[in-house]
């Protein structure tokens, strides 16, 4: 029989389960979340679970009611399963030209907050923008899942991973420093 790890396609190692119980003393209005070791939970060791609750309640509030024999309620049971996966690698694009005219779709009137009025600006197809393309605001960049407004005081540069880096026009130095400190200290 396959484990749920195998059914989900997660390698068996490394993985872990964290079990948390939200408990409270009978008739209290707040719960305390406690982590329970998997072996204690699997053994159904109620005394060990209650002792963990008393200790955590005492740590948080400065007292516990274990000596008084007040019953403990379990309100919620949560299991967090964590599986190890291989590190994702991001493909880097080759550096092209700073010119992004190939990605202009059209021009359209867009409200410019700094002007407090509408103005005709270029609209770019974000899917056609590539590494090192540079765009001066104000413009609109559109993709299937989002739209990015680049304001009057900002510019946009596409980095080696295809991300849009917006920066203030008077702080282009920050972008150069950030891009030169890319993964492994190398810039393609």
Predicted pLDDT at 127: 94
CA dihedral 95, 127, 152, 94 (to 10 degrees): 0
pLDDT given at position 11 = 67
38 vs 104: CA distance, rounded Å: 57
Domain extent listing, the chain:
4-83, 101-180
Name the residue among 71, 84, 80, 101 with its Cα closest to residue 35: 80
Q: What is the predicted pLDDT for the residue at 177?
A: 67
Which among 82, 78, 60 is positioned nearest to 22, based on CA atoms? 78
Nearest-angstrom CA–CA distance, 183 and 165 = 16
* Per-residue pLDDT in tens (0 to 9) along the chain, 188 residues: 566 667 777 666 777 788 999 999 998 999 999 999 888 888 888 999 999 999 999 999 999 999 999 999 999 999 887 777 777 777 777 777 788 999 999 999 999 888 899 999 999 999 999 988 999 999 999 999 999 999 999 999 998 888 999 999 888 887 766 665 554 444 44
Structure tokens at 121: 């600006």
């Amino acid at each position: 029989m396959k484990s749920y790890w195998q059914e989900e396609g997660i390698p068996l190692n490394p993985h872990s389960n964290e079990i948390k119980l939200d408990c409270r003393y009978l008739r209290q209005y707040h719960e305390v979340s406690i982590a329970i070791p998997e072996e204690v939970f699997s053994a159904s060791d109620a005394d060990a679970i209650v002792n963990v609750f008393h200790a955590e309640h005492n740590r948080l509030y400065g007292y516990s009611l274990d000596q008084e024999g007040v019953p403990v309620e379990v309100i919620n049971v949560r299991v967090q399963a964590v599986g190890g996966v291989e590190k994702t690698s991001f493909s880097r694009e080759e550096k092209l030209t700073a010119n992004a005219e190939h990605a202009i779709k059209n021009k359209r009137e867009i409200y410019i907050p700094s002007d407090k009025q509408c103005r005709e600006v270029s609209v770019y197809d974000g899917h056609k923008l590539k590494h090192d393309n540079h765009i001066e605001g104000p413009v609109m960049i559109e993709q299937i899942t989002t739209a990015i407004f680049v304001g009057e005081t900002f510019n946009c540069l596409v980095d080696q991973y295809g991300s849009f880096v917006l920066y203030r026009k008077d702080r282009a130095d920050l972008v150069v420093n950030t891009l030169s400190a890319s993964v492994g200290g190398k810039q393609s």
